[in-house]
Amino acid sequence: MENAADSAQQSQPTPADPRDGTDRLLYVGFLVGLGGLSLQLGMLLAAVDAPVYQVTRDGVMAARALFAQREMTSAKWPQHLWYPTRHEAKGLVTCEAEACEPGYTLYTSGHGNVALLLDLQGNEVHRWEAPFHGIFGEAKHLSSHVPDSCIYIRRAHVFPNGDLLALYETPATTPPGRGLARLDAESNVLWTFAAATHHDFGIGPDGTIYVLTQEIRTETHPQMSLLSPPLIEEKISVLSPDGEEKKTVSLFDLFGRSPFYRPVVTLRDRAGDVFHSNTVNVIGTGFASKHAGVDAGDLMVCLRNLNLVIVVDPENEEVVWGTSGPWHYPHDPDPLENGNILIFDNCATRGQQVGSRVIEFDPATGIIAREFAGAEDAPLISHIRSCQQLLENGNLLITESDAGRLLEVTPAGEVVWEYVNPVRGGDDGELTPVVSGAVRYRPEELPFLKSRIARPQVAQASAGE
């Protein structure tokens, strides 16, 4: 009986101690408070840019960059080089020859290390094809390896004898630049400039080459102490016609001691990409005569992330002029002989309309003298890259990069020539490679073609052909 009673007594639950619930609440409160303090401490460390925060931030940035690079370089159709097909047409769409600027159109495509030359009928009359690693070998000037499938020719220029100046770039690394090379008409390499060349180059009347270059800066810049490294430091390298480096100047140095420095303070959280320079154009006498302080031979440079266009005197190494305007993340400001600027406004917003446009802007008055945003059923939309060229007959040759489309447009806004990159990718052909830039050359500018144009061929229509 006693054993049964004892067993029954032992089986009864022990009354809960009211302090247990209080302890749990206190413990949870402690954890929440600790988390809040940790968050505030982290915010404080970030605000003062403490060394421990810098190490953590840099590690996270490096990890993200490495992951993105591996993902992109392993892809068969790398993003930023291939976009969903927007236009079903392939090759020539429209050609009203009598309204077009006569000549040949050079363009580069994201599907390969290639530059192609077309006649007005869309026939391929010449091509240059030179894989990056076939030219630069191990590319010891670069810190990371990227396969040729993830490299393309961002900008190109044809000389009268058929030589091609080609700027190689990749979207897989930061900085994106790979190098600059001059090829002959048969795609044989003549010389190389092994540096992180990116986006664009300009050629002066005497053959001097001005090319954008970059490097990672790991120390704070003296004029930009608010910006914490690592930073992408923008530069302009000056080369002889034979590719010999004459000098390289830092846009950080030039801009930091100029009156245009102030906007930089708004870019503390730009993850190191402060300027994102994307254009260098040599200024002619007409534009220079319309603007005080500007001389022929100065360089027009676009600082995309500041929405700012500046003029650099490469001899005296100073910023002599600048303007902002009604554009957002623009590309390719062209200094016109009438003093205006022709520019591709990538991220234009007008009420409920969101797209891109090409505008001619008068920096003296702020007036838009000309604008083209595409048709209602085919608007211009290119969030990155893109450019335009004012042709001798007054038409515009427009490169809509994201769509892989080229347009020639009259001053009245009529499309008289249209060409869509015929190459397709993806499992079902649902991807089109970007067209990063196009230039129209008049026949007399390319005498080397006279002995070569015998059997023009239609440009290839798929990545595998």
CA-CA distance, 397 to 391, in Å (whole number)?
A: 7
CA-CA distance, 399 to 349, in Å (whole number)?
A: 19
CA-CA distance, 259 to 50, in Å (whole number)?
A: 30
- Look at residue 12 and tell me if it is in a domain: no
Are 256 and 182 within one domain?
Answer: yes
Are 109 and 66 within one domain?
Answer: no
Q: Find the farthest-apart pair of alpha carbons in the chain and give their distance in angstroms, rounded.
A: 120
Are 41 and 190 within one domain?
Answer: no
- Look at residue 6 and tell me if it is in a domain: no
Are 432 and 454 within one domain?
Answer: yes
Are 127 and 202 within one domain?
Answer: yes
Q: How many domains does the chain have?
A: 2
- Look at residue 15 and tell me if it is in a domain: no
Neighbouring CB atoms inside 10 A of 129's CB total: 13
CA-CA distance, 181 to 189, in Å (whole number)?
A: 7
Radius of gyration of the chain (CA): 28
Are 295 and 329 within one domain?
Answer: yes
CA-CA distance, 414 to 99, in Å (whole number)?
A: 10
Domain boundary among 47, 74, 101: 74
Are 245 and 391 within one domain?
Answer: yes
Q: What is the pLDDT of residue 42?
A: 59
Least confident of 10-14, 364-368, 447-451: 10-14
pLDDT at 270 exceeding the cut of 90 = no
Under the banding of pLDDT at 50, 70 and 90, the label for residue 227 is confident
- Look at residue 463 and tell me if it is in a domain: no
What tokens does 222 get? 């003296």
The residue range of the domain holding 118 is: 83-458
Neighbouring CB atoms inside 10 A of 314's CB total: 20
Amino acid of residue 311: V
Beta strands in 253-379 (DSSP E): 277-282, 299-303, 308-313, 318-324, 331-335, 341-350, 353-362, 367-372, 374-375, 378-379
Are 262 and 195 within one domain?
Answer: yes
Amino acid of residue 49: D
Q: Which residues of 79-94 are buried (b: 16+ CB within 10 A; e: fewer)?
A: ebbbbebeeeebbbbe
Q: Are 209 and 203 in contact (CB under 8 A)?
A: yes
Q: Are 313 and 295 in contact (CB under 8 A)?
A: yes
Query: Among residues 301, 247, 311, which one has the least CA distance to residue 277?
Result: 301
Torsions phi, psi of 7, nearest 5? -65, -40
pLDDT at 314 exceeding the cut of 50 = yes
- Look at residue 4 and tell me if it is in a domain: no
Q: Are 408 and 396 in contact (CB under 8 A)?
A: yes
Q: What is the pLDDT of residue 224?
A: 81
Under the banding of pLDDT at 50, 70 and 90, the label for residue 75 is confident
Domain boundary among 50, 74, 98: 74
What tokens does 163 get? 């030589």
CB under 8 A, 24+ apart: contacts of 215-224: 215/175, 216/174, 216/175, 217/252, 221/252, 221/256, 222/256, 223/252, 223/253, 223/255, 223/256, 223/257, 223/261, 224/252, 224/256, 224/261, 224/264, 224/274
pLDDT tens digits for range 445-462:
999 999 887 555 555 555
* Sign of the C-alpha dihedral computed for residues 146, 81, 346 and 180 taken in this order: positive
Q: What is the pLDDT of residue 464?
A: 47
pLDDT at 386 exceeding the cut of 80 = yes
State the average pLDDT for the chain. 88
Are 259 and 283 within one domain?
Answer: yes
Torsions phi, psi of 347, nearest 5? -110, 55
CA-CA distance, 106 to 118, in Å (whole number)?
A: 7
- Look at residue 245 and tell me if it is in a domain: yes
Enumerate residues 6+ apart whose C-beta is below 8 A from 146.
69, 73, 170, 172, 173, 178
- Look at residue 442 and tell me if it is in a domain: yes
Are 375 and 428 within one domain?
Answer: yes
Q: What is the pLDDT of residue 354?
A: 82
Under the banding of pLDDT at 50, 70 and 90, the label for residue 83 is very high
- Look at residue 171 and tell me if it is in a domain: yes
Q: What is the CATH number of the domain that holds 430?
A: 2.130.10.10
| 3-state secondary structure at position 343 | strand
Q: Are 356 and 366 in contact (CB under 8 A)?
A: no
Query: Among residues 111, 133, 252, 239, which one has the least CA distance to residue 189?
Result: 133
DSSP secondary structure letter of residue 258:
S
Kindly state the average pLDDT of the residues 228-240. 94
DSSP secondary structure letter of residue 373:
-
pLDDT tens digits for range 54-72:
555 455 445 555 545 566 6
Are 118 and 165 within one domain?
Answer: yes
Kindly state the average pLDDT of the residues 218-245. 92
Are 259 and 368 within one domain?
Answer: yes
Q: What is the pLDDT of residue 465?
A: 44
Q: What is the pLDDT of residue 39?
A: 67
Enumerate residues 6+ apart whose C-beta is below 8 A from 344.
330, 331, 332, 356, 357, 358, 382, 386, 387, 388, 398
